[in-house]
Amino acid sequence: MPQDSDHGQTIAAQGSRIDAYVDRYAARAAGMVASEVRALFAVASRPEVVSLAGGMPYVTALPLDTVGELVADLVARRGPVALQYGSGQGDPHLREQICDVMRMEGIEANSDDVVVTVGSQQALDLITRIFIDPGDVVLAEGPSYVGALGTFSAYQAKVVHIAMDAEGIIPESLAQTIYALKTAGSPIKFLYTIPTFQNPAGVTLNTARRQQVLDICQRAGVLIVEDNPYGMLGFDGEPMRALRADNADGVVYLGSFSKTLAPGFRVGWALAPHAIRDKLVLAMESAVLSHSSFTQLAVGQYLATQPWREQIKSFQVLYRERRDAMISSLEALMPADVTWTRPSGGFFVWATLPEGLDSKALLPRAVSERVAFVPGTGFYADGGGARHMRLSYCYPEPDRIREGVRRLAGVIEQELRLRDTFGTGSSPDHIGVDTPGPDLA
């Protein structure tokens, strides 16, 4: 129990944190709220906890010596350019190289239509900035990427979820939702989709549905924002053909080097129809003037001098082994009524708990048992997701993944016993969108 003097200090300290500006903020600031689970993730970053929560790529697999030499060489040869302001659109040579990367997914593009951004998160922010007035509708898979939902919320968009299954977006659901919204007079600004190795669901839109989604959106005049950070990290054969490969005018494609190289450079991009590209560049300049020349040239140098396709292949092998570790231990250890998706690439498995269990209520117990995950509600803008959880296999070593799943299975079993003894536990309501920490990318 605190002494009087300590107690006084506590009140004073709280006093200084009262927000003198509380009635001054913009309306959009009301949508910027910290995730309720953020404090738990601070605990989850302790080494004794197996984190199946974060979306951090395993950068330790990179040839660090080579990267070090490469950046030193960059400063020696091109220092005055690398250290100077660059163009708002991004380094022209890097934009050419980005076109080479996208060609692996069937995209033929002109580098003039590429804008380099501070991670693809910034591309999302800029696209939302130029299209969304408060109340405008964004269509998105349910569940969808927590960072995208946070950005849509920050611009006061209304997110309407489209149902998906193990083969991605259900085209009938998309068509029906668009029809209902149009009938109601709601302005749909774009469909946001992660068609390949989706975050968080781990599923991939199949080839037949890709054409259907393109057709539905084209007929309805709905722009598609195709977010593809994981497309190159498939475990079986060649990359999927991007949506953008079959429609240059109706798709804005977002890409990133965060998962195929390293997130620490924060180099992503948008490929957009020309008129939208113009607006993106202006929005980019208004937001940050220009991205770091240094990191852009470092990525360019890496692509020009290193066997980056081989590096991606070695990432594929690494993540496939981890996916296998997670799936096999889920199969071996989880109680009968728990189900999960089987990703063929990317970082994530989406698990569904039995009736009566709530993933957010489960999290504190899981963390005390030294395993962490992300509860499903963060991936829905409408309060859904309570029975779901995202399990990441990208960062921990396979043995740790198996140990994490073992701990998690134990927690779920205990919850099931409690449910069977005392009935359904409390299901906390979810209000608003969780703003993600960067570790939830």
Q: What residues between 136 and 175 interact with a second copy by CB under 8 A?
A: 136, 147, 150-151, 154-155
Among 274, 309, 313, 342, binds a second copy (CB under 8 A): 274
**Smaller CB distance to a second copy: residue 198 or 295?**
295
Centroid of chain to Cα 363: 20
Binding to a second copy in span 352-381, by CB under 8 A: none
Q: Are strands 267-271 and 251-256 parallel, antiparallel or unpaired?
A: antiparallel
| Residue 437 neighbours by CB distance under 10 Å | 18
Strands 50-51 and 371-372: parallel
For residues 208 to 227, the per-residue mask of contacts with a second copy, x marking binding by CB under 8 A and - elsewhere, is ---------------x----
Is 18 near a second copy (CB under 8 A)?
Answer: yes
Q: Is 118 or 327 the residue whose CB approaches a second copy more closely?
A: 118
What is the smallest separation between the CB atom of 138 and a second copy, expressed in angstroms?
A: 12
Which of 7, 34, 163, 342: binder of a second copy (CB under 8 A)? 34
The reply on whether position 11 binds a second copy by CB under 8 A is no
Show contacts with a second copy in window 407-426 (CB under 8 A): none
Half-sphere exposure (Cβ direction) of 91: Cα atoms closer than 13 Å? 23
The answer to whether 264 contacts a second copy (rule: CB under 8 A) is yes
20 binds a second copy (CB under 8 A): yes
Least distance from C-beta 163 to a second copy, angstroms? 25
85 binds a second copy (CB under 8 A): yes
What would the two tokens of residue 20 be?
Answer: 């003198």
Least separation in angstroms between residue 363's CB and a second copy is: 20
User: Is residue 396 part of the contact set for a second copy (CB under 8 A)?
Assistant: no
Name the one range near a second copy by CB under 8 A: 82-90, 309-317, 334-342, 418-426: 82-90
Considering the complex, state which of residue 73 and residue 172 has its C-beta at the smaller distance from a second copy. Answer: 73
In whole angstroms, give the CA distance from residue 99 to residue 92: 11
In angstroms, the CA 69 to CA 91 distance is 21
Give yes or no for a contact between 359 and 389, defined as CB atoms under 8 angstroms apart.
yes
- Burial bucket for residue 352 (CB in 10 Å: 0-12, 13-18, 19+): middle
Q: How far is the CB of 78 from a second copy (least distance, A)?
A: 10
In this structure, what DSSP letter does residue 138 have? E
Q: What is the dihedral of CA 226, 129, 122, 106, to 10 degrees?
A: 20
Query: Does 199 participate in binding a second copy (rule CB under 8 A)?
Result: no
Positions 278 through 317 that interact with a second copy (CB under 8 A): 278-279, 282-283, 285-295, 298
Q: How far is CA 69 from CA 57, 248, 300, 301, 337, in A?
A: 22, 38, 14, 11, 52
Q: Tell me the CA distances in angstroms from 73 to 164, 238, 261, 305, 309, one per residue in order.
A: 47, 33, 18, 11, 22
Q: What is the layout of strands, in order, in the sheet containing 251-256?
A: 114-118, 267-271, 251-256, 223-227, 188-193, 137-142, 158-165, 168-169
Nearest approach, Cβ of 250 to a second copy (angstroms)?
Answer: 9
Judged by CB under 8 A, does residue 383 bind a second copy? no
* CB of residue 440 to a second copy, shortest distance in Å: 9
Interacting positions 106-125 with a second copy (CB under 8 A): 118-119, 121-122, 125
Tell me the backbone φ, ψ of residue 320, rounded to 5 degrees: -65, -40
Indicate whether 320 belongs to the interface with a second copy (CB under 8 A): no
* Interactions with a second copy, residue window 241-260 (CB under 8 A): 249, 258
- Which residue from 79, 307, 364, 383 is in contact with a second copy, where contact means CB under 8 A? 79
Q: Provide the terminal-to-terminal Cα distance of the chain, rounded to the nearest Å.
A: 40
